[in-house]
Homo-oligomer: A and B are copies of this chain.
C-alpha cells in the first residue's frame, strides 16, 4: 500500500475542472431571488399569443429570472417588453426537432441576435447523431456557437436526452463542449421525457467545470428543482417557474 500509484490517464482525461454542485445548490436555494436568478422562464408552445408573452415578460421583470425564453416569432415583442429591466430574452432555434439546415440556423441566430436575443437555445441535429455523423453534429453546433459568440450571446445546446441512448448522450455532450457550447441542456419539453436527475448527473460528470448544465422540461416543483441542482445543474428551465418560487416564499 506504500507503493507510488501511477497516474491513471483515463482519470486525468475526466478531470475537467471542478464544479461544486452541493455548494451551488445551497446558494441557489437559499431564497426565491437566488433561485429566480438561475431559472429561465419558458413559453414555447405552438399556439402562444401576444398576451401570454406579455404575462411571461411581466413575471420575468418582477421575479428577475435568468431569462424569458420565447419562440423566434416573439423575440422582438419580448425584447420591447423587457427593455430597461436587465432581464435578457432567450430564444429557441431549430426547435423542437433539431432537423434544420445549418445555413438556416446561422441565418436564424444572426437575425435573432439583431432583434435583441441574448441567449440562444439550439436543439442538436438528433438525426445526424442517430446516423453516426458526429462531425456533422459538431459542425452544426459550432456554426451556431460562432454566430452567438461573435455577438456576445450565450449558446445552450439541447440534447433531447429522452430520445438518446446512454452512449449517444455521453458522445454528444462531449461534442457540444468541443464545439464551444456555453451550456448543455437536457430537454425541449416537447418530446416524451424531461430532465432527470441521472441525466443531469451524467452530463455534469462529462463536462465537469467546462460548461454549464441546464435541467429543463416539465419541471414543476421545488423538490424537482432541488434534485436537479444537487445533481449538477446550474440553470433550470421551466414553463411553471412562479409556483416553484412561491414554494420558496415568493408572493
Contacts and interface: CB of A to CB of B under 8 A. Distances in A.
A48 B103 contact: no
A71 interface: yes
Contacts of A50: 127, 131, 133
Given A103-B107, A107-B104, A71 B46 contact: no
A126 interface: yes
Given A71-B100, A103-B107, 19 more contacts: A44-B97, A45-B97, A46-B99, A46-B126, A46-B191, A47-B126, A48-B127, A49-B130, A50-B127, A50-B131, A71-B97, A72-B100, A72-B101, A73-B99, A75-B101, A95-B99, A101-B111, A101-B112, A104-B111
Indicate how many identical chains form the complex.
2
7 contacts: A46-B126, A46-B163, A71-B97, A72-B101, A73-B101, A74-B99, A107-B107
A99 B71 contact: yes
Interface of A: 44-51, 71-75, 95-101, 103-104, 107-108, 111-112, 123, 125-128, 130-131, 133, 160, 163, 191
Contacts of A133: 50
